[in-house]
Amino acid sequence: MADNERAKYLSSNWRDGIFAGKVVFCTGGAGDICSAQVRALVYLGADACIIGRNVEKTERMARSMAESRPEAKVLGFGAVDVRDYDSLKSAVDRCVKELGGIDFVIAGAAGNFLAPITQLSPKAFRSVIDIDLIGSYHTLKATLSYLERSAAKHRSDGLTTPSKGTGGRIIFVSATLQYRGIPLQTHGCVAKAGIDTLSAQVAIEFGPRGITSNIVAPGPIAETEGVKRLARVEGLDGDLSRIPAGRFGSVKEVADATIFLFADTGSYVNGATVVVDGGSWRTQGVSDSKAFPYPGFLLSRNIDDNAQYTKL
């Protein structure tokens, strides 16, 4: 990867090769944010396995990631649904067989759409819970034994950098919407709140075994599907003044947070949430969105994902 390409995915602070010999397993790895996280880790020495439902997209992304570093090994397994534990476990076992183990896990598979409770069917609500929350739990369960093995090999005393590097770490990709709530996102907020709690429980139960479990919570990240949908609801589509940093974030900044947690810098960070949103969540909630002016759009009879609504 050329220097100008590297700058898109990670900061210049990180030393090359810090993840040499490590393996990262990522669900949702072909997505905008997760692909940047994994690509940065691959650049810094890791091999990787990404999974997704779309075969062509997942395999294409894996090939692209492998070009980040000479001799990098990146597996892309499509037709894997995180809602199906057996399918996911099979992918995990294939990853271990081909790459030798798993040191880091990113649980990033997610689904979302805009809908008020009045138009949110039980099936639609459950689909997001199943992908985001149940899928995160399945990812944890399927990789846990391998994370334990890696953690046992890479204990840190907090004073010296482990000679064999770090391992036994999991990151759950969450969000900030659930902190204060936001219209049209009941399903997403409930799912992400559950993920936050799941991560905390993992930290409590498996911290004594050397595993660290943390949340990375991206906010409005430029050129991602999430910001395309949610910026209108939060009123950020035409006014960035509500973001204290004054701009959208970049996938590189999410990747940097990931590197921090997986590297020696994150050895004593466990059960934490790293919010990457420029301070945006401090101002979110009910907004002055022109697309969805509160409370009128909630009192309308028809609301759809294209911001069309009919006043009473």
**CATH code assigned at 99:** 3.40.50.720
Q: How many domains does the chain have?
A: 1
Whether pLDDT at 311 is above 50: no
| Backbone φ, ψ for residue 201 (5° rounding) | -65, -40
What count of residues does the chain have? 312
Q: Which two tokens stand for residue 157?
A: 């005393």
pLDDT in tens, 199-232: 999 999 999 999 999 999 999 999 898 777 777 6
CA distance 249 to 252: 8
Whether pLDDT at 308 is above 50: no
Q: What is the pLDDT of residue 287?
A: 59
Q: Residue 213 catalytic?
A: no
Quick check: is 153 in a domain? yes
Task: Give me the catalytic one of 68, 136, 174, 287.
Answer: 174
Q: Which residues contact 301 (CB under 8 A, 6 or more apart)?
A: 310, 312
CA distance 312 to 302: 10
Q: What is the pLDDT of residue 285?
A: 61
Greatest alpha-carbon span in the chain = 67
- Collapsing DSSP to helix, strand or coil, 217 comes out as strand
Quick check: is 307 in a domain? no
Give me the amino acid identity at 159: L
Quick check: is 282 in a domain? yes
> Considering only CA atoms, which of 195, 191, 220, 211 is closest in space to residue 287?
220
Q: Which two tokens stand for residue 123?
A: 């099936």
Residue 118's domain spans which residues? 16-299
Quick check: is 124 in a domain? yes
CA distance 287 to 273: 24
Mean of pLDDT over the chain: 91
Average pLDDT of the residues in 96-123: 96
Quick check: is 2 in a domain? no
Average pLDDT of the residues in 144-156: 96
Q: Residue 192 catalytic?
A: yes
Quick check: is 42 in a domain? yes
Quick check: is 311 in a domain? no
Task: Give me the catalytic one of 192, 213, 280, 287.
Answer: 192
Quick check: is 278 in a domain? yes
Banded model confidence at residue 312, pLDDT cuts 50, 70, 90: very low
Banded model confidence at residue 298, pLDDT cuts 50, 70, 90: confident
- Stated pTM of the model: 0.91
